Amino acid sequence: MKYNIKITKTQNSHLSDVDFNNIPFGRVFSDHMFVAEYRNGEWEDLRIEPFGRFGIHPAAMALHYGQAIFEGMKASKSFDGKPLFFRPEMHAKRFNNSARRMCMPDVPESLFLEGLHRLVDLDSDWIPPQEGSALYIRPYMFANDEFIGVKPSENYRFIIFTGPVGPYYPKPVSLIAEQEYVRCAVNGGTGEAKVAGNYAASLLPARKANAKGYDQVMWLDANEFKYVQEVGTMNIFFVIDGTVVTPSLNGGILPGITRDSILTIFREKGYPVEERNISVDELIEAHAAGKLQEAFGTGTAAVVAHVSKIAVGDKVMELPPVEQRKLGEMAKKEIDGRRSGKIEDTHGWIVRVKHFETVNV
């Protein structure tokens, strides 16, 4: 192994407290975390330590100026019990793309991956075996200079922690097109980076959407409020008259790894697929003509989440029942099947978690 990672194991595992048949998303955390400090232009003090709180200076720059990025990824167990990652290199690359956009240092891909393998190997008993569940992995980095003033920080902390999760959306989601607010996700903005502030800017519109009875906001382009972009937590797909359609990556939306995987699978199976602009008017017309057959969101957390209805202003479009959603269901089965090893990994997306015999305590 390339890096010297100091490993301190917990003396107080709480694995036995967890009910794997009933895991709320994002509230249960595994025993350990990987931590690295960026100081004087180097990543140092690499360690795995018991998961827990840490102190932070009140002037830590991330808290004021928002230099904070993250990834969301998953590990699962194959049907015969082997721990697996899904496309970990792609997550490492996207993380560094986000870092560059926010003027933060790269985490070398080899360091990102070694920390990931060591951590998930150590906590592999935390990977839930149940279908539809997984170990959610949260790598993140934040600016740690103790300084008041707007400039890039010189010190950063990189952390990976994990936690077992069940489905993010246990039932189909309802969406409302946002016709008032925009996020930082405009052309030239930060939409294609996984930046904490993008999510912060989505909270008020999301709360307003909830108050109107909708689960999520469907974002439109920030210039004309005409073209669909994505959902707050997922990329979006439609099936219009038999064709799979999703907004093209235009710099304003997140280049989803689940999105990319599903596009690849559909194309490989010979379905007509289009990445292009989709206007809300097109959706309304297709719905009126009975041609809007499916809508679903895709993301690491959500995997594939069916959309039950979409509101655009006063117009509410109910979508066909889930039992009729052939392509969304197929996408979900394909992703889950590859993650469990039941469907052959034809693209080298599945990576076995490396096993380490000895750890330096």
Least spacing, CB of residue 75 vs ligand COI, in Å: 13
Least spacing, CB of residue 72 vs ligand COI, in Å: 2
Among residues 301 and 317, whose Cβ is nearest to ligand COI?
Answer: 301
Question: Quick one: which segment of 4-12, 144-152, 206-214, 296-304 binds ligand COI (CB under 6 A)?
Answer: 296-304
Q: Where are the beta strands (DSSP E) in 144-210?
A: 156-165, 173-177
Q: Which of 201, 122, 119 is nearest to 158 (CA)?
A: 119
Restricting to residues 171-190, name those near ligand COI by CB under 6 A.
none
Which residue, judged by CB position, is nearest to ligand COI in the bound state? 72
Q: What would the x/- binding string for ligand COI be over residues 228 to 247, using CB under 6 A? A: -----x--------------
Reduced to 3 states, what is the DSSP secondary structure of residue 173? strand
Is residue 164 a contact point for ligand COI (CB under 6 A)?
no
Among residues 189 and 232, whose Cβ is nearest to ligand COI?
Answer: 232
From the number of C-beta atoms within 10 Å of its C-beta (0-12, 13-18, 19+), residue 183 rates as: buried
DSSP 192: T
Q: Where are the beta strands (DSSP E) in 192-250?
A: 216-220, 228-231, 235-240, 243-246
**Amino acid residing at 275:** E
Restricting to residues 64-93, name those near ligand COI by CB under 6 A.
72
Among residues 253 and 292, whose Cβ is nearest to ligand COI?
Answer: 253
Question: Quick one: which segment of 177-185, 269-277, 278-286, 299-307 binds ligand COI (CB under 6 A)?
Answer: 299-307
Least spacing, CB of residue 84 vs ligand COI, in Å: 17
Question: Quick one: which segment of 183-191, 237-245, 279-287, 294-302 binds ligand COI (CB under 6 A)?
Answer: 294-302
Tokens of 10: 């917990």
Per the document, the length of the chain is: 361
Among residues 62 and 301, whose Cβ is nearest to ligand COI?
Answer: 301
**Amino acid residing at 178:** E
Q: Contacts with ligand COI: how many residues (CB under 6 A)? A: 5
DSSP 17: G
Q: Which of 353, 332, 224 is nearest to 280 (CA)?
A: 224
Is residue 299 a contact point for ligand COI (CB under 6 A)?
yes
> Of 68, 143, 206, 301, which one interacts with ligand COI (CB under 6 A)?
301
DSSP 187: T
Least spacing, CB of residue 151 vs ligand COI, in Å: 28
Q: Are 229 and 221 in contact (CB under 8 A)?
A: yes
Q: Which of 160, 159, 134, 123 is nearest to 15 (CA)?
A: 123
**Amino acid residing at 342:** K
> Of 133, 144, 300, 340, which one interacts with ligand COI (CB under 6 A)?
300
Q: What would the x/- binding string for ligand COI be over residues 191 to 230, using CB under 6 A? A: ----------------------------------------
Least spacing, CB of residue 8 vs ligand COI, in Å: 28
Least spacing, CB of residue 204 vs ligand COI, in Å: 16
Bridging pattern class, strands 216-220 and 228-231: antiparallel
Give a three-class secondary structure readout of 114-157.
Answer: HHHHHHHHHCHHHCCCCCCCEEEEEEEEEECCECCCCCCCCCEE
Residues of this chain that bind ligand COI (CB under 6 A): 72, 233, 299-301
